[in-house]
Amino acid sequence: MSSGVTNTLKFLLRLAVTTVLLAWVFRRIDLGGLGQAVREAQWVCLWPMWGLALVSYWLASWKMAIILRRQDCPTAVFDLFGISAVTTLYGMVLPGFLDLSAKWYLLKRQTGRGTNVLSSMVYNQFTTTLVVLVVGLAAVMSVTPPHRVLLRTACLLAVVLLLGLGLLVLHPTAGPRLSRALGRWLGVAPAIIREPGRKILEQLAVFQTAGWRFHFNALALSLVANTVVGTIIYWLAASAAGIDVPVPFLFWLCTAIFILGRLPISLAEFGVREATLVSGLALYGVPASAALVMSMVIFTNRILLALIGAGFQVHWALRRRSNP
């Protein structure tokens, strides 16, 4: 089967999943209630939410600049912010992880070092996911009643395992040993996996010897950008929709949507975001119409950055035309 046919089938599958999830959501919504929720929404909350969304993306770009500098690929934070914005624009129309491929290509063209960029993106995603999962599980523990001992214990064990995994991967001694073990496993893998995998492992060695101060800075920026600022954004979106739920529960929702949104199962997080909010907020008696309004408010952040990305794309095209 050709790659074109495979990509088409994957796109159709994601389109089907998105359609099914949205159909499930709208079956639970009263259109009259939705219209009233839209009319009663506090749209003034959009302004501070948009400002914080830009702050979050800027902090993420700052983190990526630190990582790339470690890989001898110095890149300005402003340029990285523009690349993230353009990637968001592509992500509105490209299925699956193709938007990440576009980001890799833009960074490769900016730095001229494709393998270094790829390993930097892997490290960036690993540390971001680690922080979001740990904080999200801690949030679940905080909102779980004390008598739910099994759930609280499972969350605690998951947090310990995640922290142990992070320590193992990033440790200057254990990390290289793990890389060598993976390298031996790659020795029997197909060439299409073996060669890129070995190159990435070689580049990751730079991060394993980076020192804990470097890792602390990366983890701290992820904590602020993706959990602290991200949760405030969710709180503002909930306030806009007239929803009042505990802040730790918003931590959990932010985590769930972050993880599910990175799975190649839907288009631009459509369906996944709405279904998670509707089903999750239902635990607190929030009407599905209000949850959908909250989803609409959150989605405007993506539209905002996509519009900024379109501006960057036009600017770069004009600059290339004036400097052939």
Model confidence at 324, in pLDDT bands (50, 70, 90)?
low
The set of residues, in sequence order, having a beta carbon less than 8 Å from that of 236 and lying 6+ positions away, is: 45, 48, 49, 52, 297
At residue 147, does pLDDT exceed 70?
A: yes
Q: What is the pLDDT of residue 5?
A: 65
pLDDT tens column, 57-72: 999 999 999 999 988 8
**If you write DSSP's letter for every residue of 106-174 in order, what string do you get?**
HHHHHHS-HHHHHHHHHHHHHHHHHHHHHHHHHHHHHHS-TT-HHHHHHHHHHHHHHHHHHHHHH-TTH
pLDDT tens column, 222-247: 999 999 999 999 999 999 999 999 88
Average pLDDT over residues 153-170: 86
Q: Which of 51-55, 270-274, 282-286 has the lowest mean pLDDT?
A: 270-274
pLDDT tens column, 72-99: 899 999 999 999 999 988 877 665 455 6
**Residue ranges of the domains in the chain?**
3-172+209-322, 182-207
Q: What is the average pLDDT value for the chain, to the nearest integer?
A: 85
Q: What is the pLDDT of residue 96?
A: 47
At residue 290, does pLDDT exceed 70?
A: yes
pLDDT higher at 243 or 183: 243
Q: Which of 118-122, 208-212, 307-311, 319-323 has the lowest mean pLDDT?
A: 319-323
- The secondary structure element, H or E, covering residue 176 is helix 174-186
Q: What is the pLDDT of residue 98?
A: 58
pTM for this prediction: 0.87
Model confidence at 3, in pLDDT bands (50, 70, 90)?
low
Other Cβ atoms closer than 10 A to 37: 23
Cα 99–Cα 25–Cα 281 angle in degrees, nearest 5: 95
Q: What is the pLDDT of residue 298?
A: 95
DSSP state of 254: H
At residue 159, does pLDDT exceed 60?
A: yes
**If you write DSSP's letter for every residue of 8-43 in order, what string do you get?**
HHHHHHHHHHHHHHHHHHHHT--HHHHHHHHHH--G
Average pLDDT over residues 281-306: 94
Q: Which of 101-115, 165-179, 281-295 has the lowest mean pLDDT?
A: 165-179
